[in-house]
Structure 1
Amino acid sequence: MAGQAGEQGSAAAKPAAPEDKSFPADPRTRIPFAIALSALAGCADSIGFLEFSQLFMSFMSGNTTRFGVAVANADWENVTRVASTIAVFCFGAFLGTLLAAWVGRWRLAVLLTVQAALLAIGLLMPWGTFAYPLHAYPIVLALGLQNATLQDEGGRSLALTYVTGAVVRFGTGCANLLMGTVAPSFWIQAPLWAGLSTGAVLGGLLQIRYGETAFLFPAALAAVLALIAIALTLAKPGSPLVAGSAPAPDASPKAQVIDPIH
């Protein structure tokens, strides 16, 4: 009896498994969409890097280094150019998170549709000046917004437009795998890196051949993904294929799920 009571006490003291906050909840859509969007980001970043004199469209770590070098050299045109790009990217993440909370179960479809539109609109924008590359801003805004589209089991935004986080999580995940404590999101890190790298190669080839019109490829890819998301949402409303039980990405653990649009 005492042994049984001890076992029951141990079971009662064992913490419950954390809630899965993935979005979409079903990995059959989340993982393919994540890899496709990483490839899209790598493609757009590579095109933009070549088209806009080594200005990154999605890799803000690289832009931050360029910002520091520009400040050190008192190159104020470059300071303004890089700082404005970082600000637009940040605003994209801000806007995407608000949209994700506002549109509820239509989140995947809406964010992908907006992203496709912004990638295409970039080709219609005036070039602006070197310090203010207006032509690049819609592309940067789209890629910032993309980071609010998907989230892992912990409710964190999946890093779809940069690979530093993926490489770090893969390295730490390998160590945790040896210790038997690996997180489920570990397995997607290598495919995300591969997707972004493959997209970057493709983007470079497209830009060399087609110039700025190469941006139509990532725009078309985003549009195809948006159509798939719209079709799934209409055919299977509320399905884990296109929905989840978590609030907007990176929200407080106490945040409530918002689904005002039915």
Structure 2
Amino acid sequence: MADYGNRTGRATPERKPEPPADKSFPADPRTRIPFAIALAALAGCADSIGFLEFSQLFMSFMSGNTTRFGVAVANGDWENVTRVASTICMFCFGAFLGTLIAAWVGRWRLAVLLTLQALLLAGGLLMPWGTFAYPLHAYPIVLALGLQNATLQDEGGRSLALTYVTGAVVRFGTGCANLLLGTVAPSFWIQAPLWAGLSTGAVVGGLLDIRYGESAFLFPAALAAILALIAIVLTIAKPGSTLVAGSSPAPDASPKAEVIDAIH
């Protein structure tokens, strides 16, 4: 109903709601999208290698590990329960640690998190194998992939699904529906390339493992190192640039959270 409460007796025009703030990180899609696809490929590669090297233990696909956990509990296979549960906890700790680091380092988020991932992926080869129940050799890789989920975020401030495809497939499906409704989110368009990147990485990881065994982990480590170097160069050469920074809170934070990645 029109508002006639003003002095002129004319209806007060309704104000259009302001569009939500863009909380993507980095703010510029020219770096965010290529980095996202490359990191999805990295995760698929590492997951494929780990799956083959550690008796079908997933490095990044925690949905699969959760199903394996349930089956192990049902069968009373407590050694496998410990093995899978410890992997899930390590991955969760990586996401926890990555989010804290993202909040601490601000505009250096890309450079720092990618450098840590490279070190962990390569450093895992130096870890002792441990036991079947506690695969110490796998933990650095799992930790690196947990960290990866705090690296990038979409326009709503949500972590981009870089280490698993379920979120990408679901968002693509719902995005197609919203496209018909005329309310599609900008992040819809990246979901199919993310799936393709992770799938391609998984194929490459499988082929590398067949040829090089566990040393194949050096390939995703090298990819992370190259991305880290690019991020470091951009951060130093273009401080505060939208290519490596944004105006956003930490990933998956409250909408009222303080901005920590300000563009200067």
TM-score, with structure 1 as normaliser: 0.96
2:44 paired with 1:52: no
What CA distance in whole angstroms lies between the structure 2 residues aligned with 1:259 and 1:42?
28
Could you tell me which residue of structure 2 aligns to residue 133 of structure 1? 135
Could you tell me which residue of structure 1 aligns to residue 43 of structure 2? 41
Aligned residues: 257
The one-character-per-residue Cα deviations of 1:112-141 (angstroms, maximum 9, x if unpaired) are 000000001100000000000000000000
5+ residue gaps, structure 2: none
Secondary structure of the 2:13 match is helix
The one-character-per-residue Cα deviations of 1:8-55 (angstroms, maximum 9, x if unpaired) are 522x2x211000000000000000000000000000000000000000
The one-character-per-residue Cα deviations of 1:62-81 (angstroms, maximum 9, x if unpaired) are 00000000000000000000
What CA distance in whole angstroms lies between the structure 1 residues aligned with 2:60 and 2:122?
16
Does the 8 Å CA contact 1:71/1:79 hold for their aligned counterparts?
Answer: yes
Does the 8 Å CA contact 1:21/1:244 hold for their aligned counterparts?
Answer: yes
Secondary structure of the 2:37 match is helix
What CA distance in whole angstroms lies between the structure 2 residues aligned with 1:199 and 1:148?
20
Could you tell me which residue of structure 1 aligns to residue 86 of structure 2? 84
Deviation at 1:258, TM superposition (A): 2.7
Secondary structure of the 1:246 match is coil
Could you tell me which residue of structure 2 aligns to residue 218 of structure 1? 220
Could you tell me which residue of structure 2 aligns to residue 9 of structure 1? 13
Secondary structure of the 2:258 match is coil
Could you tell me which residue of structure 1 aligns to residue 163 of structure 2? 161
Does the 8 Å CA contact 2:247/2:261 hold for their aligned counterparts?
Answer: no
What CA distance in whole angstroms lies between the structure 1 residues aligned with 2:253 and 2:110?
17
Does the 8 Å CA contact 2:248/2:261 hold for their aligned counterparts?
Answer: no
Identity %: 88
2:149 paired with 1:147: yes
Deviation at 1:259, TM superposition (A): 5.6
Instruction: Tell me: CA distance 1:5–1:77, structure 2 relative to 1, closer, same or farther (3 Å).
Output: farther
User: Which amino acid in structure 1 is aligned with residue 85 of structure 2?
Assistant: A
Could you tell me which residue of structure 1 aligns to residue 257 of structure 2? 255
Whichever structure has more helix as a proportion of its residues is 1
What CA distance in whole angstroms lies between the structure 2 residues aligned with 1:190 and 1:96?
25
Residue correspondence of structure 1 range 100-249 to structure 2 within 5 A:
100-249=102-251
5+ residue gaps, structure 1: none
CA RMSD in angstroms, aligned pairs only: 1.6
Does the 8 Å CA contact 1:102/1:259 hold for their aligned counterparts?
Answer: no
Does the 8 Å CA contact 1:126/1:135 hold for their aligned counterparts?
Answer: yes
Secondary structure of the 1:251 match is coil
Instruction: Tell me: CA distance 1:123–1:5, structure 2 relative to 1, closer, same or farther (3 Å).
Output: farther
Moved over 2 A (4+): none
Does the 8 Å CA contact 2:25/2:245 hold for their aligned counterparts?
Answer: yes
Secondary structure of the 1:9 match is coil
